[in-house]
Amino acid sequence: MSLILIFFLYGCSCGTNLIQAPENVRALALNDAKYYLGMPYVYGGGDTTGPRHIASVGEIDCSGLIVNTYKYATLHLGYKLTFSDATVETLYQNDTTIIDAPSPGDLIFMSEDSIISHVALFERQVNGIVYFIDAYSLDGKVEERNYLATDPKIKCFGRINVYAY
């Protein structure tokens, strides 16, 4: 009887493994982010109607861009996120593994000071320039941007953690 109760209580998590998002998940998240290019930025904006918006619909902030693109990717590829909604802080502290060498679709954590306050999707690095997709308040929209790899705003890179079934 107790074995049945344990299975009932924990059945939702049986057979799941926490892993770093595989390449196909990261690639699909990055590709999905391109559908958001031009969408207006608003702090706290989470794009309420789901992934694959056209730029004239909705508003989004940096963590909302990450959440929406990864929700889309994991849903379509059979993985589950460790979160349903997230802030920059929770993505950095709880939901990613810090990595040294990013791949397309990984996260870039940024800050003007010592507190991580911004996140973007890494696209590539070429000749010391880091390219990324970003929902940013200064420009007021989602766009492709770049920084020198040595820019002090770039604090670290992270890879989203997901559950594999």
Tokens of 7: 């299975």
Q: Evaluate whether residue 6 is within a structural domain.
A: no
- Residue 84's pLDDT is 85
Q: Evaluate whether residue 82 is within a structural domain.
A: yes
Residue pLDDT tens, the chain, 165 long: 444 433 333 444 445 799 999 999 999 999 999 999 998 898 887 754 544 444 445 789 999 999 999 999 999 999 999 988 889 999 999 999 999 999 999 999 999 998 999 999 999 999 999 999 999 877 789 999 999 999 999 999 999 999 998
Distance CA 36, CA 54 (A): 6
Q: Evaluate whether residue 2 is within a structural domain.
A: no
Residue pair 28/73 in contact by the 8 Å Cβ criterion: yes
Q: Evaluate whether residue 1 is within a structural domain.
A: no
Q: Evaluate whether residue 93 is within a structural domain.
A: yes
Q: Evaluate whether residue 74 is within a structural domain.
A: yes
Residue pair 140/67 in contact by the 8 Å Cβ criterion: no
Residue pair 122/105 in contact by the 8 Å Cβ criterion: yes
Residue 109 belongs to domain with CATH number: 3.90.1720.10
- Residue 47's pLDDT is 57
Q: Evaluate whether residue 7 is within a structural domain.
A: no
**Which residue segment(s) compose the domain that 29 sits in?**
17-164
Distance CA 64, CA 113 (A): 22
Q: Evaluate whether residue 12 is within a structural domain.
A: no
- Residue 165's pLDDT is 84
In the chain, how many domains are there?
Answer: 1
Whole-prediction pTM: 0.85
